Amino acid sequence: MTNLAGKTAIVTGGAGGMGRGHALRLAQLGADVAIFDIDLHAAKRYGEELTAEGVEQELTNLGVRALSVEADLSDARSASDAVQQVIDRFGKLDIVVNNAGGAITPIDNSTPSLSSPEDTESLFRVNFLTTINMCQAAARHFGPDGGAIVNIVTIGAEVQDATGRYAMYGAAKAAVLKYSRALAVELGPLGVRVNCISPGLIETHRIRALSAQRNLATTEQAASIPLRRLGQVGDVVDAMEFLVSEKSSYVTGECIRVAGGLGLIAA
């Protein structure tokens, strides 16, 4: 599995969880990988076990070059500086997976009528501005062969949860989806493809840790999904692999749901 040999990839939020899964797969496919994260020790927070001291070492152990950068990507200058470090180190850029983000505010106060201005701003900064900053910083560095950007959104950008508890998170990710399609139009003539993945209930270490607190990814919810199971990190990573490979060379501006059929059945 070396079909990405010679490519350089960036994964945001790559120090744990789904981001780590994306980074490891890209390395397994032969790409040199840089991970960006606001906390390079994020995996430890939710008890995720690594096979080395850190994700960068895990990537290196797969026989590729690796780089880890700790940065707040919601700041445009920090995002630009982080991307420049990749160019300085590897000399090129081919793939960006914008995985950083999340429903980081208190869930019980996140409905449309209760979300505070501070929480709303925080969700848009972490999910929407981070993606914009990374796309803008990366766009000027793709070479003559083009490249691929994959932005991770959420099923909640298109399907409303029953309680409305993820209103502002879903709105921020819906903005990412709209932005990505516009970016696909702009960068298409340069050979840069821009697509999204819309995960459903994915059983990451973080989700397992917060399951009881947020009533999320429960056995009952899994039973309501048409495929009757929660998603795994590998399910999303497989879609990412397709979108950065030549197998999707004529695909841009699209969003792939990886949700087991969640959202197909009316409540």
Evaluated on CA atoms 3, 5, 6, 9, the torsion sign reads positive
Tokens of 195: 């697509």
What are residue 9's DSSP bridge partners?
33, 95
Catalytic residue, chosen from 46, 166, 169, 179, is: 169
- Residue 169 a catalytic site member: yes
The CA-to-CA distance between both ends of the chain, in Å, stands at 42
Instruction: Report CA torsion sign: 260, 188, 126, 67.
Output: positive
Q: Tell me the C-alpha to C-alpha distance, in Å, between residue 140 and each of 80, 147, 192, 199.
A: 11, 11, 11, 28
- Could you tell me if 35 and 23 are in contact, meaning their C-beta atoms sit under 8 angstroms apart? yes
What torsion do the CA atoms of 38, 41, 44, 49 make, to the nearest 10 degrees?
Answer: 120
Instruction: Find residue 146's DSSP bridge partners.
Output: 143
Active-site annotation, residues: 169
